[in-house]
Amino acid sequence: MITFLWTACISLKKGKQVLDRKIGIVNLSRNSVKILDMPKDIRAKYLGGRGINTYLLHKLLRKGVDPLSPSNVLILGAGLLTGTLVPNSSRFNVSTKSPETGFLGDSNCGGFFAPEMRYAGFDHIILKGKAKKPRYVYVEDGNIEIRDARDYWGMNTNDAQISFRKDLGDVEVACCGTAGENLVRFANLRTGVKNSAGRCGTGAVMGSKNLKAVVAYGTMGLKIKHPQKLLDVVKEVEDYILGSKITPILGSVGTPLLYEVSNELGAIRTKNSQLNQWSDSLNAENIEKEVEKMIGCSSCIVHCRHRNKLGGEGPEYTSVGLLGANVGIDDVKQMIELQNIANDLGLDVSSAGTILAWAFELFERGMIDEKMTGEKLEFGNFEQARSLLHDIAGREGFGDILAESTQAAKKFGKKSEDYLIAVKNLPQSDPHDVRYIKAFALGIATASRGADHLRSRPTLEIFLRLPKEVKERIYGKGVSLDPTSYEGKEKTVVFSENIFAVIDCLGICKFICHGFNSPHFLDYPRFETLLEAATGMKYGRRKMEAVGKRVVDTERMFNIRQGLTRKDDTLPKRYFDDPMPLGAPKGHHIDRKEFDGMLSRYYKLRGWDEAGMLAPSRVEEIESVGGLP
Amino acid sequence: MKVLNFYPERCTGCRECAMACSLVKFGECNPRKSAVTVIRDEFKRYEYAVFCLQCDEPVCVDVCHQNAYTVEDGVIKHDDDRCIHCRLCAAMCPYSAITVHGKDIVKCDLCDGDPTCVKYCATDALVYEEETKEMALKRKEMVERILGTP
């Protein structure tokens, strides 16, 4: 049964312009919808996607908002080039105040939803308030409706999406699972079988609003400013990327190839980072046996996503590490099954694998006991891990405590924080133990949403034989070639943070962009050409990089307003105090004094003061960006 | 004679073929306004490109009472000036290979012998090629599968 509660309609000439997509504001408390044009100043300063989301979030949220209250907002924002011929332009960001961290919640996601949202007429959808009863938001060709979701509430992400398609046709869906409905602090927002705005509890915020999904159907194409130019540039770029060494590997085995790289180096998070090496049974060659076909997101030329034989998609490297090595599992099928379950329930695999491992170690150390957990907890127990994932999503038994993510420390006791692999209350995203490569360590310490590699991972640091001149050309002079040195590493992080922010504004996958997998992929000049061909907007290198800087600074302002200080730009205690026990990195850890010096240099390079605060003139400049009524 | 062949096992569902087609034909990126349509469902686990097969005895040509369709060197071409947008061709096409988008009728004309979709397919799922033994065998297998021949 579908009830039409409120409809807003805009007259959008079909296929008018790539720049004509709107901002939809949905107030679930008031059952109202408002549609706005994109203010030119905001577009110019932040381009789209993560940038505009960040701006909107900063403008809309005051200090101290409870993330699970109706006062929080959830913003879906497509990249400026998303849904075009530009390779791998499938992406959008979901931004909110995170219920997992209390700071910025922001997550980037691929798949097919974001292009559909744009074809339906919208670049950004802001979800405010809280519905009295379960609702979903339906978006089609310039219209937004708030509809009854009682038929979908209680479903997990696969069933919900299958049901929406059965009822509404060829739609794309971004929804929460039961984990989101039950306000699990690391519940995610999912589209398709595996794609998710996984981090920071976006699904919990959706659930807190009594909102099951945003559903999109669009027929309004994105008119391209210079079609032939775009065709030409894309052809050139595609041929180049497809001709590289790394692309065919990513296209055949996907990100699990990184497991072997990290594991051989001796830098795979194992059993809550008590160890740093694990079984080679989880290597990509073994995962490949469980793969039916490799598939892609919208406009993707890399196709790194596995359709696995166990009924799901994936695994990514994050699942291999965190639902494998980190929880002590070495069986490929078991690991894949855990990630399939987490995906369906709508749980973030990175947080899930980190929180489970944390609890297992605390139990082993006797810091929590069966009175709390209901059973003996142990690493490597597949059945137990599987049932705990279900219990977390349902908030049943001990799962109810784990569902609090890092905030479970309130129940586990202050001392438990010493064993928690998290920064800014966010469990570390990727399975790489960053005690060895110092630039990686700084990156997860400064990442605006907490411990995360997708904000800045200067992956090139892992290539030990990268020529000096290549490194200098990218990051500037003074960056040590030694990955274990702290010297100049702030330059690699600042460069990466800026360019990654631009990539997220444009809506392109990092896999084909400079610095993430290869120093030769899409760089600022390519972005400029693609942007100009698609939209007519002219940006030089400096102006483009300035967007990235502005996004990082705006995120910093948001976080500072929510109480962030220098002490939050840090690392898990274990990374400082416990040397790595195995392999080549044996004995390596992060030196507090060296780290502190690196952080100060990072602040200086960013133009922030010693306390990590922005200059008043910069705050004023950012606050003056305007246009939102 | 060259034909446009599709190999579903190579298709990743990315729709770059459709993005490029709509861009060439209409100056916009719109997978629903393309002569090649990628039908996909990740829950049912398939992706399949649908496009005009340039039939030898084309239904669209037969049913069009405005003579908007002509056959030139084996390629069926649609003339929008003659078309009255009745959509009968799309309704009658046994392969649902004619796209209707609003008033627009979109049909593959093989881009004058140099199909754009093929150029932008990163996995060679779409190939413009002479009839191959592989395709002939595949066709035979498909027929036998449909007929249930052991």
pLDDT digits (tens, 9 = 90+) for A73-109: 999 999 999 999 999 999 999 999 999 999 999 999 9
Site of tokens 């995170």? A98
CATH class of B2-51+108-147: alpha beta
Q: Which residues pair with A137 in a beta bridge?
A: A146, A214
Q: pLDDT, tens digit, for every residue of A10-34?
A: 444 444 567 899 999 999 999 999 9
Q: pLDDT, tens digit, for every residue of A180-199?
A: 999 999 999 999 999 999 99
C-alpha span between A358 and A376 (Å, rounded): 14
* A21 against A467, higher pLDDT: A21
pLDDT at position A1: 38
Taking an 8 Å cut-off on Cβ atoms, the answer to whether A219 and B24 are in contact is no
Report the residue from A15, A235, A296 with minimal CB separation from B28.
A15
Q: What proportion of chain A, given as a percentage, has pLDDT over 90? A: 93
What is the enclosing helix (H) or strand (E) of A74? strand A74-78
Q: Quick check: B70 contacting A, CB < 8 Å?
A: no
* Residue A69 distance to chain B (closest CA, Å): 33
Confidence band of A299 (pLDDT split at 50, 70, 90): very high
pLDDT at position B67: 97
**Nearest-by-CA chain A residue for B124:** A301
User: Left if phi > 0, otherwise alpha if psi is -120 to 50, otherwise beta: which for A266?
Assistant: left
Beta strands of A118-237 (E only): which ranges? 122-128, 135-140, 143-148, 172-176, 189-190, 196-197, 211-217, 222-223
Give chain A's mean pLDDT.
95
Is A6's pLDDT higher than 50?
A: no
Would you tell me which residues 262-321 of chain A have a C-beta closer than 8 angstroms to some C-beta of chain B?
292-303, 307, 313
Question: In chain A, what are the domains?
Answer: 4-217 (3.60.9.10), 251-427 (1.10.569.10), 438-623 (1.10.599.10)
If you ran DSSP here, which 8-state letter would residue A245 be given?
A: S
* Residue B113 distance to chain A (closest CA, Å): 18
Q: Quick check: B96 contacting A, CB < 8 Å?
A: no
The HSE-up count of residue A475 (CA atoms within 13 Å, CB side) is: 29
Locate A584 and state its tokens. Answer: 């080549």
C-alpha span between A176 and A160 (Å, rounded): 9
CB contacts < 8 A, A to B, total 98
Is A7's pLDDT higher than 60?
A: no
Site of tokens 């310039």? A142
Taking an 8 Å cut-off on Cβ atoms, the answer to whether A231 and B23 are in contact is yes
What is the sign, positive or negative, of the torsion defined by CA atoms of A512, A518, A522, A523?
positive
| Pairing state between β B28-29 and B37-41 | unpaired
Confidence band of A629 (pLDDT split at 50, 70, 90): low
The alpha carbon of A104 is separated from its chain's Cα centroid by a whole number of angstroms, namely: 12
Report the residue from B13, B20, B42 with minimal CB separation from A231.
B20
Q: pLDDT, tens digit, for every residue of A135-171?
A: 999 999 999 999 999 999 999 999 999 999 999 999 9
pLDDT at position A11: 45
Q: Which residues pair with A144 in a beta bridge?
A: A8, A139
Task: Tell me if A416 sits within 8 A of A432, measured CB to CB.
Answer: no
Is A511's pLDDT higher than 70?
A: yes
Q: Which residues pair with A2 in a beta bridge?
A: none
> How far, CA to CA in Å, does A263 sit from each of A64, A122, A331, A510, A579?
41, 43, 16, 23, 17
Q: Which of A12-21, A269-278, A554-563 has the weakest average pLDDT?
A: A12-21
* Residue B56 distance to chain A (closest CA, Å): 32
CATH, domain range B54-94: 3.30.70.20
Q: Quick check: B13 contacting A, CB < 8 Å?
A: yes
ipTM comes to 0.95
Taking an 8 Å cut-off on Cβ atoms, the answer to whether B43 and A296 are in contact is no
Q: pLDDT, tens digit, for every residue of B40-70?
A: 999 999 999 999 999 989 999 999 999 999 9
Other beta carbons within 10 angstroms of residue A620's beta carbon come to: 10
Q: Quick check: B37 contacting A, CB < 8 Å?
A: no
Backbone angles phi, psi at A318, to 5 degrees: -60, -40
pLDDT at position B134: 78
Backbone angles phi, psi at A540, to 5 degrees: -85, 175
Q: Quick check: A536 contacting B, CB < 8 Å?
A: no
* Residue B121 distance to chain A (closest CA, Å): 8
Confidence band of B150 (pLDDT split at 50, 70, 90): low
Judging contacts by C-beta atoms under 8 Å, the chain B residues touching residue A302 are: 122
Contacts of B33 (CB under 8 A, 6+ apart): A15, A219, A221, B22, B25, B26, B99, B101, B104, B106
Per-residue pLDDT, averaged over A595-616, amounts to: 98
Confidence band of A445 (pLDDT split at 50, 70, 90): very high
Task: Tell me if A314 sits within 8 A of A306, measured CB to CB.
Answer: yes
Judging contacts by C-beta atoms under 8 Å, the chain B residues touching residue A115 are: 31
C-alpha span between B30 and A84 (Å, rounded): 8
Beta strands of A110-203 (E only): which ranges? 122-128, 135-140, 143-148, 172-176, 189-190, 196-197
Q: Quick check: A193 contacting B, CB < 8 Å?
A: yes
CATH 3.30.70.20 in chain B, residues?
2-51+108-147, 54-94
Is A627's pLDDT higher than 70?
A: yes
C-alpha span between B19 and A419 (Å, rounded): 49
Judging contacts by C-beta atoms under 8 Å, the chain A residues touching residue B99 are: none
Task: Tell me if A544 sits within 8 A of A503, measured CB to CB.
Answer: no
Is A615's pLDDT higher than 80?
A: yes
Would you tell me which residues 347-406 of chain A have a C-beta closer than 8 angstroms to some C-beta of chain B?
none
First-to-final CA distance of chain B? 32
pLDDT at position A19: 87
Taking an 8 Å cut-off on Cβ atoms, the answer to whether A165 and B47 are in contact is no
Q: Quick check: B21 contacting A, CB < 8 Å?
A: no
Kindly report whether the peptide bond that precedes residue A315 is cis, defined as omega within 30 degrees of 0. yes
pLDDT at position B104: 94
Is A268's pLDDT higher than 80?
A: yes
DSSP A364-408: HTTSS-HHHHSS---TT-HHHHHHHHHHHHHT-TTHHHHTTGGGG
Taking an 8 Å cut-off on Cβ atoms, the answer to whether B23 and A224 are in contact is yes
Taking an 8 Å cut-off on Cβ atoms, the answer to whether B12 and A294 are in contact is yes
Q: pLDDT, tens digit, for every residue of A215-247?
A: 999 999 999 999 999 999 999 999 999 999 889
Taking an 8 Å cut-off on Cβ atoms, the answer to whether B122 and A165 are in contact is no
Per-residue pLDDT, averaged over B120-146, amounts to: 85
| Pairing state between β A422-423 and A189-190 | unpaired
* Residue A221 distance to chain B (closest CA, Å): 4
Locate B1 and state its tokens. Answer: 């004679």
Task: Tell me if B54 sits within 8 A of B20, measured CB to CB.
Answer: no
Q: pLDDT, tens digit, for every residue of A389-444?
A: 999 999 999 999 999 999 999 999 999 999 999 999 999 999 999 999 999 999 99
